[in-house]
Amino acid sequence: MAEIKFEEALKKLEKLVQELEEGDLSLGDALKKYQEGIQLSQLCSQRLEDAKKKVELLTKNKKGEFSLKPFDESKADEASA
Amino acid sequence: MPTRAEFSSQHLESGSQKHRHIYTVSQLTQDIKLILENALDYVWVEGEVSGMSRISTGTVFFTLKDERAQLKCVLFFNTALSLKFQIKNGIKIIVFGHIGVYERSGNYQLYVEKIEPLGVGSLQLALEQLKIKLEKEGLFDSSHKKPIPYLPSCIGIVTSATGAAIKDILKVIDRRFRDVEIIINPVRVQGEGAKEDIAEAIRDFNRFGKVEVIILARGGGSIEDLWAFNEEQVAYAVYNSRIPIICAVGHERDVTISDLVADLRAPTPSVAAELVLPKKEDLRQAVEDYLGRLNFNIRHTLEVNATQHKIAHKKLQLLNPVLKIPHYRQRLVDLDRQLGMSIKNFIGLRAARFQKVIEKLETLSPLGILSRGYSITFKLPEEKIIKDAGALGKGDIIKTKLHKGEIVSEVQEAG
C-alpha cells in the first residue's frame, strides 16, 4: 500500500485550504474539497501521533549479516562496537 | 688538504710535468666528495620544486631552485610514501637531508629525508590538493546532491557510540520530535582504522536499507583529529551513498572533504539533528491551523450559500404563479360583480323598455280596449272573432268577451 508521505499530505492540505479560501468554487466542489481536506489532516495527525521512539545499534556478524540491538543511551559513555 | 690557491700556484709555477699533481677523475671526485660531505652536515633547504620525475622503483627526482641556483634532490620511495601531500612542480617546500656526491654522474645532490610545505602545514596542503582533485572528479557537484527527506521515520547515525556528538544528536531529536526510529552504526572517528570504519559504516547503511537519511557526525578537534573525514575513501563512500547524508564534523569553522561531498552540511551535530527533523509541535500546529481554516471556511461557504439560497428562494417565491391567484381571483370577483352589475343594468334597461313596450302593448291590447267598454265577439264553436255583423245569422251562438267575464248569447238579428 503506497501511502502518501507526510510532506506531500501537508502540501496538498495547504493547497486545498487556499483553493477554498479563494472562494470561487461551487458548493458541491467546496464540500468535496472540504472532505478531502479533513481526510488529509487526519492522515497527518495520525502520522505525528503513531510514531514511536526507538534507538538501536546496527551490528554485523562475520558473515556480513546485519542485526539490530537496543542502544542504551545512559551507557553512551562506555565504549562499544 | 691543499687549498685552491695552493693548487693554482702549483700549476702556474711548475714548468715540468714532474712537479704537477695529476688526479684521476675518480680521485678528484673522491676528494670533492670528502670535502663536501664533511663540510655540510644535515641541512634544511627551502626552494621551489621543478623538473620532478619518478622512476619505476618509486624514487623521485626533482630540482629545488631559487632565482640563481639549483639543487638536485633525491627522494626515496619509503620517504615519499609517508608524505601526506603531493610534491608537484611549482610548489615551495622545505626539505631536510644530507648532501651527497654521486660519483657516477659527477654531481652532488640532496638526499631528502623530510619535506614540509613552505608557509602552510603539510596537512593543510594535502587537504587543498585533495579538494582540487575531488572537485575535478565531480564529487562536490551540487547537481549530485540529494534532497533531505522532510519527515524521515528512520534515521541512521555514523559516529562514535560514546562522546558528545551522539549525546547531542539524541538530545536534540528527543526535544524536537522524540518519536522516530534511530539506528546507530558506531565507528572509530580518528586514528588508525577510522577511515575504513567510516566508509564501511556508510556502505552498511546502504546495504541494510530502512534508514531514510544518515547523519555523519564527529565532535570538534584539530586537523589531525578530523583527518579521517578528509580521506578519499570516505569521500567516495559519501558520494556513492544513495541515502542522503548530512555531515556534521567538528565545529563551525572546520570544513572537511566529507562536508563538501555530503548532501547537506551542518556546522555541529546538534544542528544536524535540527536539520533532519522538524519540530513536532510546529507540525501539529500547522495541521491544526489548516483544520481550523477548513472548518471556518466551510461554515462560511455554507452560510453564504444558505443566504444566497434564501434570497434566491424568496425571489423564486415571489415569482410563483400561485401568488397571482388571489389577484386573479379578485379580478374574477370584480369582473363577476361588474358582469352582474352590467347584466342588472342591461336587464334593468331592457326591463324598462319592456315595460314601456308592455304598456304600449297594453294600450294596444284588445284587453286594454275592453277596459274602456269595448267587447270582443267570437262565433262559437270556432271561436272566430267577428268583425262584421253580416257574418252572423239568426240563431248563431256567439261569445262576447267583456272586460270582466263573458256572455254567451244567441243572435236574433245581425247586420
The 10s digit of each residue's pLDDT in B178-208 is 899 999 999 999 988 999 999 999 999 999 9
Q: Is B70 on the interface with A (CB under 8 A)?
A: no
Nearest CA-CA distance, residue B319 and chain A, Å: 24
Tell me which residue of A62, A68, A11, A81 sits closest to B183, measured CA to CA: A68
The position carrying cell 458548493 is A27
Residue with the larger pLDDT of the pair B133 and B123: B133
Do the domain assignments include residue A60? Answer: yes
Q: Band the pLDDT of B1: cuts 50, 70, 90.
A: low
A21 contacts B297? CB cut-off 8 A: yes
Res B221: pLDDT? 86
* A and B: number of Cβ contacts within 8 A: 114
B253 vs B185: which has the higher pLDDT? B185
Residue B178 near residue B280 (C-beta atoms within 8 A): yes
Answer yes or no: is A2 within a domain: yes
Q: What percent of chain B has pLDDT over 70?
A: 95
Q: How high does pLDDT run on average in chain B?
A: 88
Which carries the bigger pLDDT value, residue B261 or residue A21? B261
ipTM: 0.82
Q: Tell me, what's the pLDDT at B248?
A: 95
Cα separation of B229 and B223, whole Å? 10
Task: Tell me the residue range of the domain where A2 lies.
Answer: 1-72
Q: How far is CA B369 from CA A12, B212, B329, B379, in A?
A: 114, 135, 54, 19
Predicted confidence at residue B7, as pLDDT, reads 57
In b/e form, how buried is each residue of B41-59, taking b as 16+ CB within 10 angstroms? Answer: eeeebebbbeebeeeeeee
Q: Which CATH number fits domain B146-278: 1.10.730.10, 3.30.420.40, 3.40.50.10550, 3.30.465.10?
A: 3.40.50.10550
Which chain B residues in 18-57 lie under 8 Å from chain A, judged by CB atoms? none
User: What pLDDT score was predicted for residue A71?
Assistant: 86
**Choosing among B212, B291, B310, which should be mutated to test the A contact, i.e. which has the most A CBs within 10 A?**
B291
Separation of CA B377 from chain center: 129
In a mutational test of the B interface, the residue from A41, A52, A75 whose CB has the highest number of chain B CBs within 10 Å is: A41
Q: Using 50, 70 and 90 to split pLDDT, how confident is the model at B123?
A: confident
Please give the Cα distance from B409 to B397 (Å, whole number): 6
Q: Which CATH class is domain B4-126?
A: mainly beta
The segment with the largest mean pLDDT, out of B263-272, B303-312, B346-355, is: B263-272
Number of domains in chain A: 1
pLDDT digit string, tens, across residues B141-181: 999 999 999 999 999 999 999 889 999 999 999 999 989 99
Sequence-separated (6 or more) residues with CB below 8 Å from residue B22: none
Residue B75, pLDDT > 90, answer yes
pLDDT value, residue A80: 42
Residue pLDDT, tens place only, A30-79: 888 899 999 999 999 988 888 888 999 999 888 888 889 888 877 555 44
Q: Between residues B133 and B348, which one has the greater pLDDT?
A: B133
Question: How many other C-beta atoms can be found within 10 angstroms of the C-beta atom of residue B19?
Answer: 10
Q: Among A69-78, B92-101, B357-366, whose mean pLDDT is lowest?
A: A69-78
Task: Check residue A78 and give its pLDDT.
Answer: 47
Residue A1 has pLDDT above 80, yes or no: no
Q: Chain B within 8 Å of A53 (Cβ-Cβ)?
A: yes
What is the phi-psi region of residue B209: left when phi exceeds 0, alpha when psi lies from -120 to 50, beta otherwise? left
3-state secondary structure of A57: strand
Q: Do domains B4-126 and B146-278 have the same CATH topology?
A: no
- Which residues lie across from B214 on neighbouring strands? B156, B245
Q: CB distance B301–A78 less than 8 Å?
A: no
- Facing residues of B100 across strands? B109
State whether residue B93 is helix, strand or coil.
strand
More confident residue, B69 or B90: B69
Residue A79 lies in a domain: no
Instruction: Give helix B164-176 / helix B269-276 axis angle, nearest 10°.
Output: 30
C-alpha cell at B407: 256572455
Round to whole Å and give the CA distance between B110 and B98: 6
The values of phi and psi at residue A27, to 5°, are -60, -40
Q: How far is A58 from chain B (nearest CA, A)?
A: 5
What is the reported pLDDT for B80?
Answer: 85
Mutate to test the interface with A, among B173, B175, B183, B196 (most CBs of A within 10 A): B183
Residue B70, SS3 per DSSP? strand
pLDDT at B355: 81
> Taking a C-beta distance cutoff of 8 angstroms, is the pair B227, B264 a contact?
no
Nearest to A35 by CA among A56, A16, A53, A18: A16
Strand ranges for A13-65 from DSSP E: 54-60
Sketch the domain layout of chain B as residue ranges.
4-126, 146-278, 282-319, 369-410
